[in-house]
Amino acid sequence: MLKPSKTHDECRQAFRWEVPRSYNIGVDICDKWASDRSRVALISEVPGEGVERYTFWDFRNFSNKLANGLTAHGIQRGDRIGILLGQSPETAIGHIAAYKIGAVAIPLFTLFGVDALQYRLSNSGAKVVITDRANYSKIEEIRASLPNLKAVIVVGGEKGSDAFIDFRGLVEKGSSQFEPVQTDAEDPALIIYTSGTTGPPKGALHAHRVLLGHLPGVEFPHNFFPREGDLFWTPADWAWIGGLIDVLLPSWHHGVPVVAYRAKKFDPEEAFQLIAKHNIKNAFIPPTALKLMRQVSHPRERYSYQMRTIGSGGETLGEELLEWGKETFGFTINEFYGQTECNLVVGNCWEVMDIRPGSMGKAVPGHTVAPVDEAGEPVPPGTVGEVAIKRPDPVMFLEYWGNPDATREKFVNDWLLTGDLGRQDDQGYLWFVGRKDDVITSAGYRIGPAEIEDCILKYPGVSMVAVIGKPDEVRTEIVKAFIVLKPGTEPSTKLGEEIKKFVKTKLAAHEYPREVEFVSELPLTATGKIMRRELRKLEEQRLAKKKSE
């Protein structure tokens, strides 16, 4: 646990990893708190159905019952268990039970279609899927193509069905006494599939120690979390690393309650209502959600809330969003950085360091992060290189499931390569430039889209933006911006020209977008990241069509 400090350097120097040889996530986040039968773990709200509270004692008993049920159906150490559920008590029970029996949990997003589910379940060789009635039909459709799948457990299922096992019935049959298997910190615990921004998703296999590795990356951007009265929430689904290991599991490691809210779609008004209703103190809110919340008018006047911290990551926030955060919440939103394979390794903490808009922050205590060249050597300050994390590191993944070649390619010497380009200044601040394949080459210049997007977001009426390189015979590529406008702002040729001039004045003549296209939406991954490759593909198709005409 990070010790409150006065400076970032002091915090780094005081930190030491404490990773025991024997460690089990399920025992850590649940059983160790269950002796206090009244200690609240989860506040679960279903819109239109009310609020329920669950204690750590409840989760201990439920997870033990499920662990016994899984074991009775032949599930054992090392088997993979898919969990296709949203933010719900059953999701948490499934995870805890999986860890207690030494199985490997696979979080699955409920908005996945059958192709996405078939790929992940087949690739992982999952033996069990825990889902609900709303998503069971997807599993039923692909079941014949999943020879390893032995059982489907359905929340809200019907007792006595031959097609699946009823979750409640299975839990009710099980004993509340279960002896968790002895796992080492290095033993596999879960597979989280990458969001697929640069190709087919890969299964990042993580060890039980991954939770301990995440702790400083949660505690630092949440101003030395936990503190008395803290209560955590995120709109990010628990199927993603941002929801599961940035919020749920670390909160429970510290015995801090979490709010679960099962909305079908993110609603920014509902977000403010929820924060005020439950007196939520801490939140991980992805940039896309923050941009939607920014469109809510006068939230401080309409809702009574007093948050302590907000962390955000996945896309660069930019100066405009940070200023809105200060005005709306009374503090700076702490941006952080990481990826599925090695998460929460860079961050900001406004209590101990100056926040520099556009910067991801500094290396979180316990992690060594630097831009490196192709040979794996750190580059000088101010020089663009590939952002990399030095091993060994407790938060680092074990391997890509069933893909040794991709695992080897992920490293050079002792550095894990993120695929992101960035630079580090002489005071240790890291600045995101763009994905390696997002970098635009125009008239000999190498241009990162992040800075241009940040600039365009400052222009009045702009809600979201994505910048790509469009193929060009003269310049190799030109900068093109796809822009989503705020409600009430109408697209026009004149507005496009004004935005071009704005960027040209604010940044540089070679960085302004030579083309602007107004769109109603941008292609996003399920985690809310912009898929610039889809926009590049669109331009390539348009170019090919034009040539063929």
Compute mean pLDDT per 10 residues along the chain, 549 residues long, and list them.
93 96 98 97 94 98 98 97 97 98 96 88 98 95 96 87 90 95 98 71 95 98 98 95 96 98 90 98 92 92 97 86 96 96 97 94 98 96 96 98 95 95 96 80 72 88 93 83 95 96 82 94 81 89 84
CATH architecture of 439-548: 2-Layer Sandwich (3.30)
Write down the pLDDT at residue 199.
53
Rounded CA-CA distance 178/166 in Å is 20
Task: Provide the pLDDT for residue 446.
Answer: 65
Report the predicted TM-score, pTM, of the whole model to 2 decimal places.
0.85
Residue 157 has what pLDDT? Answer: 83
User: According to the model, what pLDDT value does residue 263 have?
Assistant: 84
Residue keyed to tokens 């949990």? 105
CA–CA dist 123, 379 (Å, integer): 37
Where in the chain do CATH 3.40.50.12780 domains reside?
A: 21-424
Domain 21-424 architecture: 3-Layer(aba) Sandwich (3.40)
User: Which pLDDT score, from 0 to 100, does residue 473 have?
Assistant: 74
Question: Can you give the pLDDT at residue 264?
Answer: 81
DSSP calls for 207-263: ETTHHHHHHHHHHTTTTSS--TT--EE-SS-TTSHHHIIIIIHHHHHTT--EEEE--
The CA distance from 353 to 364, in Å, is: 12
pLDDT score, position 183: 98
User: Which pair of tokens denotes residue 395?
Assistant: 């938060």
pLDDT score for 115: 83
List the one residue out of 388, 407, 362, 471 whose CA is nearest residue 202: 407
In degrees to the nearest 10, what's the CA dihedral of 449, 451, 452, 456?
130
The reported pLDDT for the residue numbered 471 is 87
CA 41 vs CA 35, 60, 206, 214: distances in Å: 13, 11, 24, 19
Kindly report, as residue ranges, where domains of CATH 3.30.300.30 are found in the chain. 439-548
